[in-house]
Amino acid sequence: MLSFLAGLGLGLSLIVAIGAQNAFVLRQGIRREHVLAVIIICALSDAVLIVAGVAGLGFLIERMPWLVVVAQWLGAAFLLTYGLLAARRALRGTDLGLSAQALTRARPGGRLVPLVLTVLALTWLNPHVYLDTVLMLGSIAATHGDERWIFAAGAVVASIVWFTALGYGARYLGRWLNTARAWRILDGVIAVIMIALAVSLIVQAVSG
């Protein structure tokens, strides 16, 4: 039980911080577009990375550091593109606000395939996920010896709980996002997060 709780706590500490993936899940939760699909992809991706870390993929990253550099440049390019698109939405106001009644009756309007590709890119092109989820979590799991898989189970549960709470809890923010101006502000915040993360990745890649 102690190993499970340790994995649960560390898992939450690594994923709760607002980042590109969390910002996207929050936005989809507020829009009520394919929320379950987004949650499943994020949680399943985390589970795969956690298992890989516990199984020893972290040692491969330690021996081939250039993999992280490649992920940094690819992640920066994607985040910068997505951030600029969000900034354009914020400036042009292309997303109309929805009333509380409309949100209640809302149907998923976005296409599923582009959304799935976006979630996968936000997850797998983020080099921090390899450093934190794979390397750090995998290394700490190794200290639990035979109970390392119980530790991993706790981390996986943390991921499922967090993304479910974020995706389905976000809909309650709809009452404050019932105007076009509110949506533009939200997209502006998302744009700042994405572009800032992209810049930080570029700086890390150049200085590393």
**pLDDT > 70 in the chain, percent:** 78
User: What is the rounded average pLDDT of the residues 178-189?
Assistant: 76
With CA atoms as reference, report the closest residue to 155 among 136, 170, 174, 173. Answer: 136
Residue among 49, 25, 3, 1 at smallest CA distance from 168 = 25
**In angstroms, how far is the first alpha carbon of the chain from the final one?**
39
- CA distance linking residue 171 with residue 103, whole number of Å: 8
User: Measured between alpha carbons, how far is 156 from 164 in angstroms, rounded to an integer?
Assistant: 12
Nearest alpha-carbon partner for 42 in 109, 110, 133:
133
Structural tokens at position 202: 């570029």
**Rounded distance between C-alpha atoms, residue 49 and residue 138, angstroms:** 9
Which pLDDT belongs to residue 39?
A: 94
| DSSP state letters, 17-47 | S--HHHHHHHHHHHHTSSHHHHHHHHHHHHH
Q: How far is CA 113 from CA 38, 81, 131, 202, in A?
A: 11, 18, 28, 28
Its pTM surpasses 0.85 = no
- Among 38-47, 52-61, 174-183, top mean pLDDT goes to 38-47
Instruction: Name residue 183's amino acid.
Output: W
pLDDT greater than 70 at residue 110: no
Tell which wins on pLDDT, 113 or 57: 113
Per the prediction, the chain carries an average pLDDT of 78
Rounded to an integer, what distance in angstroms lies between the CA atom of residue 142 and that of residue 55? Answer: 9
Distance CA 107, CA 83 (A): 25
**10 to 39, 54, 131, 202: CA distances (angstroms):** 19, 14, 14, 27
Q: Which pLDDT band, with edges at 50, 70 and 90, does 135 fall under?
A: confident
Region 120-149 average pLDDT: 78
Cβ–Cβ < 8 Å for 127, 201 = yes
Which residues make Cβ contacts (< 8 Å) with residue 106, sequence separation at least 6? 31, 32, 98
- For residue 43, the model assigns a pLDDT of 93
17-26, 60-69, 74-83, 166-175: the lowest-pLDDT one: 60-69
> Which of the four pLDDT bands, split at 50, 70 and 90, describes residue 178?
low
Residues 50-70 pLDDT 10s? 998 888 766 666 677 777 677
